Amino acid sequence: RAAEWQLDQPAWSGRLRITAKGSTAFIKLEDKSSGELFAQAPVEQFPGVAVEGVTDSSRYFVIRIEDGNGRRAFIGVGFVDRGDAFDFNVALQDHFKWVRQQSELARQAQDLEQGPKLDLGFKEGQTIKLNIANMKKKEGGTGSTRPRPAGPGGLSLLPPPPGGKSSSGERLAPLSTPAQLPGTPITDSLLSWPQPTAAPAADVWGDFAKASG
């Protein structure tokens, strides 16, 4: 109970700061002018035995101070302003809330490392089948073809193969006989070139002379 303390004659007065190193918070009592450390209380858990509130006031607390050599002592600490006492509580609560979050994240990461890992690699002899029928159909439907030159009457004509070769690479042999058109008989006159006829031996003016006589 804070009422049992000698509040009108405090043994020491100064400033209070809260710092943290790792998961441990430190309540430091320092000289308000020089900043010299008077005492400090390491807090590893809150609420806990290192910091306890009194039963008859929200402005007073009991803290456990340590000198670093194993010696400990419990002293009473009070704030003149109630708002400072509220900030003291909130600072300790925020620190240990952060400690719990870090601990939870570390535990989740450890569970992921220890859990079974998903193996997406191919086993020896394993194959995979891809169906690309839709891809071929799409390319055939949307692909553009080069237009061929159109001949007379709208018919498409292909140029003759160079060098007298067919598309398959075979050379075309010359025809030994003329091609026969339907309904046309093949005769000797078709097989030979026409020869020039000899001029007649008779006088071409003979008939003309007879007619004039």
What percent of the chain is predicted at pLDDT more than 70?
A: 60
SS3 assignment, position 48: strand
pLDDT at 21: 92
Q: How many CB atoms lie within 10 A of CB 60?
A: 19
CATH numbers and ranges of domains, the chain: 2-113 (2.30.29.30)
Q: Which residues pair with 61 in a beta bridge?
A: 53, 77
Q: Are 41 and 50 in contact (CB under 8 A)?
A: yes
pTM of the predicted protein model: 0.50
The mean pLDDT of 57-71, rounded to a whole number, is 91
Structure tokens at 103: 């601990």
The mean pLDDT of 10-21, rounded to a whole number, is 92
> Per-residue pLDDT tens for 150-178?
555 555 556 666 655 555 555 555 555 55
Q: Are 75 and 62 in contact (CB under 8 A)?
A: yes
Q: Are 22 and 41 in contact (CB under 8 A)?
A: no
CA distance linking residue 85 with residue 58, whole number of Å: 7
> Per-residue pLDDT tens for 105-158?
888 887 777 766 667 777 777 888 877 876 655 555 555 555 555 555 555 556
pLDDT at 108: 85
Residue at 161: amino acid letter: P
CA distance linking residue 16 with residue 35, whole number of Å: 10
For all residues of the chain together, what is the average pLDDT? Answer: 76
